Amino acid sequence: MSTAETARPATLTLDNSYLRLPEGFYAKVAPTPVAEPKLIRINRPLAAELGLDADALASPEGVEMLAGNRVPDGAEPLALAYAGHQFGNFVPSLGDGRAVLLGELIDRTGRRRDVQLKGAGLTPFSRAGDGRASIGPVMREYLVSEGMAGLGIETTRALAMVATGQPVYRQQVEPGAVLTRIAASHVRVGTFEYFYRRGDHDSVRALADYVIERHYPEIADQDNPYAALLTEVVTRTADLVADWLGVGFIHGVMNTDNVSIAGETMDYGPCAFMDSYHPATVYSSIDVQGRYAYNQQPRVAHWNLAQFAQSLLPLLAADEDEAMEVARAALDHYAPRFEETYHALLRRKLGLATEGEGDVDLAMDLLKRMAEQRADFTLTFRRLADLQRDDTGNDETVRTLFEDPSAFDAWAEKWRERLVAEDSDDDTRRTAMRATNPAYIPRNHRVEQAISAAMREDDFTPMERLLEVLASPFEDHPEHADLAKPPKPEEVVQRTFCGT
């Protein structure tokens, strides 16, 4: 089959509002059909949320659509144009080099959601790439994005994975796959940069108007809706990065082309969750300078937002100096918003229901000791929930996570004093802490084990086990208790890699 055919699965009818923007915003391109599409997985809960028939998506006709061999009714496929700062260096033309936006659907809550095929073949933006994706990065994005959704963190979602039956050539030959990604939007900071850096201010305005109408309609009637747009994106980004820190997540490539204006985590490449806590942790194989290390993410997010603000300058005010002042005022919201969100999260992680003057210092002291003693980030907070205010008998469950358990003892004494001052009830606190501190995250070694089993043995059982606990990560799953454990020394994953 040389061209994509048109089909009409009854469960999927799409629109594409992005096509109402000028042609320079995108390139019309159909997915490239694949040889032998085979369904790996349908995300049935997400399908239900979207108002889709999962059984129809899993049918031969549905799989053809999810592979890119058939285009659903109403779809007008396109690849989006954008630029971006990559590791601080501006690249004027990037764009969707291996992804095709089929269109948008309206979910059960009335939200408009993008439907994109990732790994769908060559586009005009592919440059030297092959437009394809291998099964490893597709599985990583599926697992980690669904893990983030289970944790309650804003994220793109994975609707389906389909094997292509064709090889993909990276460091080695790997099986090919296509991911169906669902997003609130695929507009990025880099989309605005693409036009601003070309001096095309009319397109910047058209894009801003589109984003406001679609994502922030409540600000459309404000005196300066573009300043309000900047403030909204600043606020959502500050909240998002604080949430990342709260679960030990490291994005890995916080380039401006990976920053969503809708406040979602997007583009899961060499991302990872920390095991042993250290603020300077880096996993990405391409982040050799540690620009996007765990503790650098708040600073980099602010830097990225400054690039967004610069792109909006022609819209913020007619006078350049006045526009700069408006931009600075919006950006000044970032630090206090981030601190407010992050500090409130830290208090919840410690089981503190009220705000005390020394709470942040108490949390930072624990983190410092965890870093020095190589304590597991997730398990330390999870097990802390089960300790008693007036009884140290159960402390061993946390103490053993520290190389020198006495380091925890010294901190725990101060923590208990704070609980007494709050007159905290153990049962209430425990329930609240367990709802904040997950038992399960997509641990790197488990993700790699799932990918390895799929690639080498065509065995997706490890993936299914992991997805089961990631769907409800705050609950105990005794039958999958091993998935909560940190890696053994020989299982530790030191580096993660970009899918391209």
CB–CB of 411/375 below 8 Å?
no
CB–CB of 498/286 below 8 Å?
yes
- The whole-angstrom separation of Cα 385 and Cα 247 is 15
Q: Where are the beta strands (DSSP E) in 368-438?
A: none
User: 426-434 and 377-384 are packed helices; what angle lies between their axes, rounded to 10 degrees?
Assistant: 150
What local confidence, expressed as pLDDT, does residue 154 receive?
98
Query: Which residues lie closer than 8 Å to 10 by C-beta, 6 or more apart?
Result: 53, 56
What local confidence, expressed as pLDDT, does residue 460 receive?
97
Catalytic residue, from 96, 114, 243, 257: name it.
Answer: 257
What local confidence, expressed as pLDDT, does residue 500 receive?
58
What local confidence, expressed as pLDDT, does residue 5 receive?
46
- DSSP annotation string for 129-147: S-S-EEHHHHHHHHHHHHH
Is 459 among the catalytic positions?
Answer: no
What local confidence, expressed as pLDDT, does residue 129 receive?
86
- How many residues would you count in the chain? 500
For every one of its 500 residues, what pLDDT tens digit does the chain have, with 9 covering 90 and above? Answer: 334 544 434 457 899 999 999 989 999 999 999 999 999 999 999 999 999 999 999 999 999 999 999 998 889 999 999 999 999 999 999 999 999 999 999 999 999 999 999 999 999 999 888 999 999 999 999 999 999 999 999 999 999 999 999 999 988 899 999 999 999 999 999 999 999 999 999 999 999 999 999 999 999 999 999 999 999 999 999 999 999 999 999 999 999 999 999 999 999 989 999 999 999 999 999 999 999 999 999 999 999 999 999 999 999 999 999 999 999 999 999 999 999 999 999 999 999 999 999 999 999 999 999 999 999 999 999 999 999 999 998 999 999 999 999 999 999 999 999 999 988 899 999 999 999 999 999 999 999 999 999 999 999 999 999 999 999 999 999 999 999 999 999 999 888 887 65
DSSP 488: P
- As a whole number of angstroms, the longest Cα–Cα distance in the chain is 71
CA angle 169, 170, 172 (to 5 degrees): 85
- The whole-angstrom separation of Cα 316 and Cα 314 is 6
- The whole-angstrom separation of Cα 147 and Cα 410 is 34
What local confidence, expressed as pLDDT, does residue 195 receive?
98
Q: Pull the structure tokens for residue 42.
A: 């349908």
What local confidence, expressed as pLDDT, does residue 141 receive?
97
Of 145, 166, 359, 140, the residue nearest 270 (C-alpha): 140
Long-range contacts of 54-58, Cβ-Cβ distance < 8 Å, separation of 24 or more: 56/9, 56/10, 56/11, 56/12, 57/9, 57/11, 57/12, 57/159, 57/160
What local confidence, expressed as pLDDT, does residue 321 receive?
97
What local confidence, expressed as pLDDT, does residue 221 receive?
96
